[in-house]
A = this chain, B = another copy of it.
Amino acid sequence: MGDVSISNGLTNSQRKSCWYEEEIEENLRWCFALKSILHTGASQYQDIQLLDTKPFGKALVIDGKLQSAEIDEFIYHESLVHPALLNHPNPKTIFIMGGGEGSTAREILRHKTVEKVIMCDIDEEVVDFCKSHLLVNKEAFYDPRLELVINDARAELERREEVYDVIIGDLADPIEGGPCYQLYTKSFYELVVKPRLSQGGIFVTQAGPAGIFSHTEVFSCIFNTLRQVFKYVVPYSAHIPSYADTWGWVMASDNPFTLNADELDQRIKQMIEGENRYLDGQTFTSSSTLSKAVRKSLDNETHIYTEGSARFIYGHGSNACKQH
């Protein structure tokens, strides 16, 4: 085995002999050449891996699903955090449902007005894993403004009395029977989230795949559910290379969202420390202007997430509502 004439030919494929493989959906695979498997762990809820991949750098993988990749997680996290905080006149207190990875807190803490961030994730092991291994978020984890709570986000919001300027949902998708479903229902938004928003407060949530074909999985329903509860609802999306898809977010409030691209750029300059890598005024204009097909199905979406509509799947061994 391995004479030079072959091995020369293989030196290249040798460098590619280890792969991370994910089934994005049944019948579709996405494979990254692996440099190394940095850390592996497990919580009572989930398996955790930190991989070093060639195309996307360090990748956090939970239960075999890529959560975020070093080279493009900023697209996801800047999109999740900044539009809501920028549209709030003076965001001081923020509540994160999930977000144990720390990147959402990192982006929030760049806002000069922010005084207090509650990060409420149910999985302590995941939080500890990210805290020790994701160096890019180390500073955020140790920021005095951050309060880390290990609990179910719904229980925590119900328990607490104070209100928040912005509440951010950084949770797994609302698959019926899934652990987070109940954190995407109309009654949850009405009875738990809205009461915890301060006057003029804003709610924003990750909203699953938003591609031309994939947006009907959950994106359109999250949008339609939120517009039952809030006066103003803004869906937006961005292509995230490591997800091999366009991703969606929905921002909602009872105050109108009035900033145009230029005003958004000014507020970015005023409010955010450091330079955004992804989001600016024009980027958000593009992100929040959906393509024809997606726009139409959002307009026409009639499904609303309610406890009733959830056909809970039994035997899931876990009701953990995981961080995204």
Contacts and interface: CB of A to CB of B under 8 A. Distances in A.
Nearest to A10: B64
Contacts of A3: 172-175, 178-181, 322
Interface-centre pick from A12, A28, A32 (highest chain B CB count, 10 A) = A28
Interface in A15-58: 15-23, 25-37, 40, 45-47, 49, 51, 53-55
Q: Is the interface of A mostly helix, strand, loop or mixed?
A: mixed
A142 B282 CA distance: 43
A71 interface: yes
Interface stretch (A148-156, A197-205, A290-298): A290-298
Q: How many A residues are at the interface, by size bracket? A: 35 or more
A14 B47 contact: yes
A2 B313 contact: no
Interface string A272-295: 000011111011011101111101
Interface in A290-324: 290-293, 295, 313, 316-320, 322, 324
Interface-centre pick from A20, A21, A40, A279 (highest chain B CB count, 10 A) = A21
Interface of A: 1-8, 10-23, 25-37, 40, 45-47, 49, 51, 53-55, 61-67, 71-72, 75, 172-175, 177-181, 208, 211-214, 238-239, 241, 243-246, 276-280, 282-283, 285-287, 289-293, 295, 313, 316-320, 322, 324
